[in-house]
Amino acid sequence: MKKLNLFLSAAFIMCASVMFSQFSQTLPVGLDDCCSVPQVDECIGCTVSQQPFVARGATVNESWLIQNNLSHNAVVVQFGMGNYSEITQNDFDNDADVDQNGNYNHSVILQSGNRNDQDLDQDGESNYSYQEVFTDSYDNEGEVDQDGNWNTAFQFQRYDFNDADIDQEGNGNYAEQNQTGIYWSGGNDAHIDQDGNKNVAQQMQTIDFGSSGDNDADAHQDGYNNTSKETQYAENGGDNDSDVDQDNPFEDRVGNLACVDQTADGGDNDSDIDQDGYRNEAVVSQTATGHHADNDSDIDQDGNFNGAWVTQTATNGENDSDIDQHGNNNFAMVSQSLSGSGSDNNSDIHQDNNNNQAWVIQTGSNGVDNDSDIHQDGFGIAIVVQDGDGVENDSDIDQNGVNNIACVNQYGTDGSNNSDIMQTGYGGLDNFVSVDQNSGGGNNDSDITQDGNNNYACVKQTASSGADNYVNGTQTGDNNSYTVTQTGNSTLSF
């Protein structure tokens, strides 16, 4: 009788049941502190607290919880090495909370039904977490907090009002969140925060199957050699919003990489990337289809040897790109393509200090306006290519310093070309300008100002019958030269 009482007392401590429920539990005989708890019916709760038992020199903690039907609540607390916890909850009002403290922890949470809530906290090394809502459900919320190195966290959510959060501290960690909203989804919201080096954050969000909700993802990484990838797809007027913040304080270490891929059908794409440090790279790809569907990209990089690439494609919408780089040896490239009427390509690049490069390629049709603005302090290279049918091309380049190169190529049919280049400051020495304009029916207008010595400017303009070419050139200093070639009506001013 005493043995039976001890057995029942231990069972009560480790796995608590709620009244009016079918309850079965199995505690294996031996020193392994294991617990298996299947439960059915309503208002079922289970709390498992396990302390490490040492069996033949090993520490083994295990827990299995299965809950079906309504109003579930499961809490598992484990201490020691080699812990394992698995929770399966079916139907409505699921709530799971797992707290593992030790090494080699492993946790799996599977939920179906509505109003799912997951919370996992792991402290130790080589932790692994997998959380999934595996049926069409709404009001899903998942949270993972891991502290240590080489941790892995997965969260998968489906249907409506998805909210996922992963927080990792340490090196070599991997975090992945996948959210799919369907059938009038209220949207997806995902967040990853990683503090350490060589971490990877990946977030994928999808709104489809007739839904019109929004995707919202943000990632923050502090350290070097980190990678963040955001992939978003939205249908039926849904918007995509991505925010990535990376900080690399080490000048002699590999920088961070941020990749954003956004596709919206009838909605807008918005990407914001902020990178601080050295050797960082930002890559943005945006596609927007439908009337008034816009792309907006903002990249801010502070440091040396950074690179930014932006590709935007829109139909009957607008492309806007803003790149701001502070430091030396930075590179920026923007490619914008737009079809439809009454829409614009807008690119703004600002680069401080020396050895910077800026490239802009813009194409459009049916009354689209191409607008490019490049400002460089120090000696740099600026190249602009604008092309379209029935478009107005407008390029503005401002360079301060010596050994600057500015090249502008503008082409179009039934449109006009406008180029304004200014090279001044710091003595304005050995600067080069090349402008090639072919309007095919509209006017060509080139304005060049160079201040200093040994500067060179070359302008070539071609205008069809009834169109005009305008050149306004200003050079101050010694040993400067200016070459102009015009086809069509010509107006020169020097």
For residue range 381-424, list pLDDT tens digits in order. Answer: 999 999 988 789 999 999 998 889 999 999 988 789 999 999 98
| Sheet strands (E) in 51-136 | 54-55, 58-59, 61-67, 72-79, 83-89, 94-101, 106-111, 116-123, 128-133
Rg from Cα positions in the chain = 31
Specify the pLDDT at position 133.
Answer: 72
Q: What pLDDT sits at residue 230? A: 97
What values do phi and psi take at 75, rounded to 5? -130, 125
Residues 6+ apart with CB under 8 A from 76: 47, 48, 50, 63, 65, 85, 87, 97, 98, 99, 100
What is the pTM (predicted TM-score) of this model? Answer: 0.86
Which pLDDT value is given to residue 115? 65
What pLDDT does residue 439 have? 87
pLDDT value for 43: 35
Residues 412, 248: Cα–Cα separation, whole Å: 43
Structure confidence at residue 319 (pLDDT): 95
Is 11 in a helix, a strand, or coil?
helix
Residues of the chain with pLDDT under 70: 1-61, 63-65, 67-72, 81, 91-93, 113-116, 134-139, 160, 183-186, 209-212, 342, 425-428, 493-494
Query: Of 199, 181, 198, 182, nearest to 190 (Cα)?
Result: 181
The pLDDT assigned to 490 comes to: 77
pLDDT of 424: 86
Q: What is the pLDDT of residue 143?
A: 87
Render the burial of 355-369: b for 16+ CB within 10 Å, e for the rest.
bbbbbbbbbbbebbb
Would you state the pLDDT for residue 241?
96
What pLDDT is recorded for position 134? 62
Helix (H, G, I), strand (E, B) or coil at 466: coil
Q: Determine how many CB atoms are found less than 10 A away from the CB of residue 283.
A: 17
CA neighbor of 164 nearest in space, from 203, 129, 194? 203
